């Protein structure tokens, strides 16, 4: 191969290299920072872009998605001098690629160190019980402090979680004994409360039964008295109806005549009396006339 052919091959490779470096494709959820002659020039969003060879330089792409940093457990001392192992995970997202590129050299390392320092400061102001029972409040407080501190780096802290808090073994044993004592105490209280409620219910049941029995006896007496009074009323009404019926019916005429003779006989005893017997022995008017004649004599 002569010199001319070799030169042509070198020029061809150079042209392909320049053409390849002239066009850049930026993927979704990433962004590129372009430097021109060593200074910040512009940002490249996702898509196809043209850059000037040998003048523009595209820095490593910045991922705009949410990142997760899971740190190994670290020792933290509480306000009451208890050393605990705290396992932390943090979720953050780059919001300003320019700040995240030029404000510091190691973004992940800086966030890790800042998180560890903040956790020590926050938990150092709390007691052991407060740390174990106020995890949500600790998480919220850590997120606010870290978000404010990382804002100048173009980073937003979305969430921070304390995955686990492990106190020393002797503290764990003491806490377990305390928990067992509390559970036994609650069980005894619940048992006593249940017995108390049972006794109250039994007494209430007996009381209600006695009241119902008394009400039943009272109702029975009232019903018996009402039945007796009703019977007396019915008897009196029957007698009254019987007397009324007797008054409205004419008695036997012969019986009235005999009773009239008996009356005249009683009147005439021991006297010289003139007795006039009516011709119509069956008539009540004749008997009355005879009685009138006797009185006149």
Q: What whole-number distance in Å separates Cα of residue 164 and Cα of residue 158?
A: 19
Residue 225: count of CB within 10 angstroms of its CB? 10
Residue 89: give its domain's CATH number.
3.30.479.30
In a domain, 237, yes or no: yes
In a domain, 175, yes or no: no
In a domain, 234, yes or no: yes
In a domain, 140, yes or no: yes
pLDDT number for residue 242: 67
Domains contained in the chain, number: 4
Output the pTM of the full model: 0.54
In a domain, 176, yes or no: no
Query: In the chain, which stretches have pLDDT less than 70?
Result: 1-3, 242-243, 245-297
Same domain, residue pair 122 and 162:
yes
Same domain, residue pair 158 and 70:
yes
In a domain, 263, yes or no: yes
Same domain, residue pair 150 and 223:
no
Among 13, 38, 63, which residue terminates a domain? 63
Same domain, residue pair 233 and 259:
no
Among 167, 196, 228, which residue terminates a domain? 167
Same domain, residue pair 102 and 91:
yes
**pLDDT tens for each residue of 111-123:** 988 998 999 888 8
Same domain, residue pair 238 and 260:
no
pLDDT number for residue 31: 93
pLDDT number for residue 182: 83
Task: Please list, in sequence order, all residues whose beta carbon lies within 8 angstroms of the beta carbon of residue 219, skipping any fewer than 6 positions away.
Answer: none
Same domain, residue pair 270 and 245:
no
Rounded CA Rg of the chain: 62
Same domain, residue pair 104 and 133:
yes
Among 44, 63, 82, which residue terminates a domain? 63
Same domain, residue pair 282 and 258:
yes
Distances (CA, A) of 242 to 230, 236, 248: 18, 10, 10
Same domain, residue pair 47 and 82:
no
pLDDT number for residue 90: 92
Q: What residues make up the domain containing 44? A: 3-63
Q: Could you give phi then psi for residue 41, rounded to 5 degrees? A: -115, -55
In a domain, 173, yes or no: no
């Amino acid at each position: 191969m002569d010199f001319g052919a070799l030169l042509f091959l070198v020029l061809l490779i150079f042209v392909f290299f320049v053409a390849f470096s002239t066009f850049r494709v930026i993927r979704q959820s990433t962004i590129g920072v372009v430097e021109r002659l060593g200074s910040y020039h512009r940002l490249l969003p996702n898509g196809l872009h043209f850059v000037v060879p040998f003048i523009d330089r595209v820095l490593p792409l910045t991922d705009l998605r949410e990142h997760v940093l899971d740190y190994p457990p670290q020792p933290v001392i509480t306000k009451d001098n208890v050393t605990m192992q705290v396992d932390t995970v943090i979720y953050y997202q780059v919001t300003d690629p320019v700040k995240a590129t030029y404000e510091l050299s190691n973004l992940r390392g800086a966030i890790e160190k800042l998180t560890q320092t903040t956790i020590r400061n926050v938990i150092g102001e709390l007691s052991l019980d407060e740390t174990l029972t106020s995890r949500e409040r600790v998480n919220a407080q850590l997120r606010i402090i870290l978000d404010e501190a990382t804002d100048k780096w173009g980073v937003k802290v979305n969430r921070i979680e304390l995955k686990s808090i492990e106190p020393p073994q002797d503290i764990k044993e003491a806490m377990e004994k305390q928990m067992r004592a509390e559970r036994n105490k609650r069980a005894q209280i619940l048992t006593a409360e249940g017995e108390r409620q049972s006794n109250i219910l039994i007494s209430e049941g007996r009381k209600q039964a006695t009241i119902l029995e008394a009400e039943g006896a009272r109702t029975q007496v009232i019903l018996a008295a009402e039945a007796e009074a009703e019977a007396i009323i019915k008897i009196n009404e029957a007698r009254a109806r019987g007397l009324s019926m007797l008054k409205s019916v004419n008695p036997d005429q012969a019986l009235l005549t005999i009773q009239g003779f008996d009356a005249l006989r009683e009147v005439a005893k021991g006297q010289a009396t003139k007795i006039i017997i009516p011709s119509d022995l069956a008539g009540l008017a004749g008997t009355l006339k005879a009685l009138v004649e006797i009185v006149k004599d």
